[in-house]
Chains A and B, each alone.
Chain A
């Protein structure tokens, strides 16, 4: 009964969404307040309907109702409750329902908090948001019904892929979807602005917090996924340039660009049509990610069970949303009034440069991801594009961006003083010089040539970010009291920038260090035998059998010592799950501040030994810390009262802090 209620609620939501997508739009066109007002109650009812559907599916998973096909295929009574719940979005149908619920939730938030939006803009935003929902609801109802019944119901389900039964992965998809769907708000605002024919600072103030919130969620989602790949797959790496990883990375890159160009729209009333284009493309790439994962056009370790009918449908959705909005852009963007002008050397100039580089980076990732498809379609053969391509194209584009990131925040708006800025950055430049030299002298023998210069860049970015902060609070230039007062009064958005830029520098150091200096050792190890990796001695003490709630495992115990001193006891496992019976590896990781000690136990060789893989991953903890700082910085910036959804007053809109830097 409950699944039928859920199904019915989805159908109802479809009709409400159709009303929400049309009536307010007509109202805005005719300037009819009553028709425009339909949008808000409709958004509320639509959300309630999809929430009921989502709750119904969750209920089916929680009580293990195997008469629902989706539950029977993806759950099992033995599964811990966390994974029963995460099973709701761990499959194609459920994840789509999650998408729709999030779309509805965000639409509702615009309706609730958007009281001070101009009524026609609000009506249009909610209508566009509802159009997206209509597309997804049609997709779900016609091709991917999560409430499909199964008769007779099996006694038990076939279980969730054990690799996915992990806390990191339980929360990886929801954050990813929050990110993707969050960009839909920026998209709806962009379309509404094109319809209105007006983009101004108020518009940008609205778009920024949504973009920022989406960006924070997406960052967290990607980082969780990467972290999961790192500790669960047991390959010691954290990024593989897999098509599906790229699919989430592209909206992140473009979303980052959008985040920064929206600042220029807000502060300087410039880059408007570019920002609109970015908003459209960022959400389109989110949709593209959905398409790539579910259509089977590319091979990937991630792909959901695919089905050409679904592929055709979601491609149609992509064409309508992206094609339609880009066409609207082509027609309407030329109408937008150009805003303030600025010199190439200025804050705007550096933001534009970073935008161009991020967009170009996105383009290379897109090309690399789709190239196998293009080549196959043109009969140029079967090709796969791997890390060498991305390292050779994407990475060089990001390096100048890091330089711009360091210098940009110190430049004044409108017209900056580059020589003066470089003088203020002399400490950072000197520090990166020292890093370069020091690393060339001290680096281990097999260190690749690119490690010292890139590490010097990371040091430059970190120092430049700190210098910018120090200047804002007049550290050592004013009395301590004055500095503290300034530190207190600095807007949270400024703190957000400092923290996240520093986080990126840290993450960059982690990426460089772990790629350049990883040590890997694979061998058959007998109990009692010691293997030395990167100066650490790993003694295999024992391998014993342990039993979990829905798996049995072989657990190895390693004692790790360095120069006779005890460093860690590592307990990696090789699990075999009961349902479905599939082996997984559970790496054991000991995190030191400068490196991860990482051990994996594999198959027994039948003569008392076990295959063991031991990695020494330098600076990987910095990578995760850097990602955490990106999320923390974004969240702090989001909590800035100027970003708060209640509209800022005119006086607040004038940023105090950036004015100060401009003087300095």
Chain B
């Protein structure tokens, strides 16, 4: 019986070491969105300008959609913008790229887009950030990938860089566009 007591330290240690081993393959800094694998929220945003349609939940049915929250006052948005221009030019058939202008005056957003180029197929205007709150946006830029059934599949916080675009987002878009077997 006393022997078991002496064994206790090593047994406890082995359990802790097991956790460490598991911990090595987890990323503690990654904060998952509770909305992943959930249907996108229900909303109906007015268009930013009359030439392009606005954006509502039903617009995501049947297509892979990449939803990007942006603002003219947001410096990191400017950093990721060229990647969206590229995406729109090369992959418009695979993915519907939608912008939501966040906490911004319509004229500011429009002049920003006219200067940097407008990659979006649709642009919803969310000046009050009501819809952004439903999506769980902390701040711009944030980007969400939604599958043809309207389920959120991926969330990216902060500007997207080329690595993320090529190694995470584009492969996911390809996967999601495959018809469900």
Asked if B14 is at the interface (CB within 8 A of a chain A CB), the reply is yes
* Residue from A281, A329, A334, A374 within 8 A of B19 (CB atoms): A374
Residues in A whose Cβ lies below 8 Å from that of B16: 370
Nearest residue, chain B, Cβ from A381: B32
Question: Would you list which residues of chain B between 12 and 39 have a CB under 8 Å from chain A?
Answer: 13-14, 16-17, 19-29, 31-32
Question: Would you list which residues of chain A between 309 and 330 have a CB under 8 Å from chain B?
Answer: 311-312, 315, 318-319, 322-323, 326-327, 329-330
Q: B20, A297: Cβ atoms under 8 Å?
A: yes
Residues in B whose Cβ lies below 8 Å from that of A297: 20, 23-24, 26, 28
Nearest residue, chain B, Cβ from A277: B9
* B interface, size bucket: 20 to 34
Asked if B10 is at the interface (CB within 8 A of a chain A CB), the reply is yes
A315-B21, A330-B3 in contact; A376/B28 too (CB < 8 A)? Answer: yes
Asked if A438 is at the interface (CB within 8 A of a chain B CB), the reply is no
Q: B28, A296: Cβ atoms under 8 Å?
A: yes
A297-B28, A299-B28 in contact; A281/B9 too (CB < 8 A)? Answer: yes
Interface of B is mostly: helix
Residues in A whose Cβ lies below 8 Å from that of B22: 377
Minimum CB–CB distance from B74 to chain A (whole Å) comes to: 19
Nearest residue, chain A, Cβ from B16: A370
A297-B28, A334-B2, A376-B28 in contact; A326/B23 too (CB < 8 A)? Answer: no
CA distance A281 to B22 in the complex (A): 22
Q: Max chain B CB contacts within 10 Å: which of A277, A318, A326, A372? A: A326
A370-B19, A373-B19, A374-B19 in contact; A330/B24 too (CB < 8 A)? Answer: no
Nearest residue, chain B, Cβ from A332: B6
CA distance A377 to B28 in the complex (A): 10
Asked if A295 is at the interface (CB within 8 A of a chain B CB), the reply is yes
Residues in B whose Cβ lies below 8 Å from that of A229: none
Minimum CB–CB distance from A246 to chain B (whole Å) comes to: 15
A330-B9, A377-B19, A377-B22 in contact; A382/B14 too (CB < 8 A)? Answer: no
Residues in A whose Cβ lies below 8 Å from that of B32: 382
CA distance A1 to B63 in the complex (A): 61
A376-B28, A382-B31 in contact; A318/B17 too (CB < 8 A)? Answer: yes
Q: A322, B6: Cβ atoms under 8 Å?
A: no
Q: A330, B6: Cβ atoms under 8 Å?
A: yes
Asked if B7 is at the interface (CB within 8 A of a chain A CB), the reply is yes
Residues in B whose Cβ lies below 8 Å from that of A322: 13, 17
Asked if A387 is at the interface (CB within 8 A of a chain B CB), the reply is no
CA distance A564 to B27 in the complex (A): 55
CA distance A295 to B25 in the complex (A): 10
Nearest residue, chain B, Cβ from A318: B17
Q: B28, A333: Cβ atoms under 8 Å?
A: no
Q: B17, A315: Cβ atoms under 8 Å?
A: yes
Asked if A89 is at the interface (CB within 8 A of a chain B CB), the reply is no
Residues in A whose Cβ lies below 8 Å from that of B7: 330
A299-B29, A334-B3, A377-B19 in contact; A326/B24 too (CB < 8 A)? Answer: no
* A interface, size bucket: 20 to 34
Minimum CB–CB distance from B126 to chain A (whole Å) comes to: 27
CA distance A327 to B9 in the complex (A): 8
Residues in B whose Cβ lies below 8 Å from that of A311: 24
* Residue from A299, A323, A333, A334 within 8 A of B13 (CB atoms): A323
Residues in B whose Cβ lies below 8 Å from that of A372: 28
Minimum CB–CB distance from A288 to chain B (whole Å) comes to: 9
Q: B13, A326: Cβ atoms under 8 Å?
A: yes
Residues in B whose Cβ lies below 8 Å from that of A299: 28-29
Residues in B whose Cβ lies below 8 Å from that of A296: 24, 27-28
Residues in B whose Cβ lies below 8 Å from that of A323: 10, 13-14, 17
Mask for A280-314, Cβ within 8 A of B = 1, else 0?
A: 11001000000100011111000000001001100
Mask for A366-392, Cβ within 8 A of B = 1, else 0?
A: 000010111011000010000000000
Nearest residue, chain A, Cβ from B27: A296
Residues in A whose Cβ lies below 8 Å from that of B14: 319, 323
Nearest residue, chain B, Cβ from A366: B16
Minimum CB–CB distance from B20 to chain A (whole Å) comes to: 5
Minimum CB–CB distance from A199 to chain B (whole Å) comes to: 15
Mask for B92-110, Cβ within 8 A of A = 1, else 0?
A: 0000000000000000000
CA distance A295 to B29 in the complex (A): 13
Minimum CB–CB distance from B5 to chain A (whole Å) comes to: 9
CA distance A322 to B3 in the complex (A): 18
Minimum CB–CB distance from A313 to chain B (whole Å) comes to: 10
Residues in B whose Cβ lies below 8 Å from that of A334: 2-3, 6
Residues in B whose Cβ lies below 8 Å from that of A277: 9
Q: A319, B29: Cβ atoms under 8 Å?
A: no
Residues in A whose Cβ lies below 8 Å from that of B13: 284, 322-323, 326
Q: B17, A319: Cβ atoms under 8 Å?
A: yes
Closest 10 CB pairs of A and B: A326-B10, A297-B23, A330-B7, A330-B6, A311-B24, A377-B22, A299-B28, A326-B9, A373-B23, A299-B29
| Apart from A297-B24, A298-B28, 7 more pairs, CB < 8 Å | A295-B20, A295-B23, A297-B28, A323-B13, A373-B19, A373-B20, A377-B26
What are some 13 contacts across the A-B interface (CB < 8 A)?
Answer: A295-B20, A297-B20, A311-B24, A319-B14, A329-B6, A331-B6, A333-B6, A372-B28, A373-B23, A373-B28, A376-B28, A377-B19, A377-B22
**Residues of B in contact with A (beta carbons under 8 Å apart):** 2-3, 6-7, 9-10, 13-14, 16-17, 19-29, 31-32
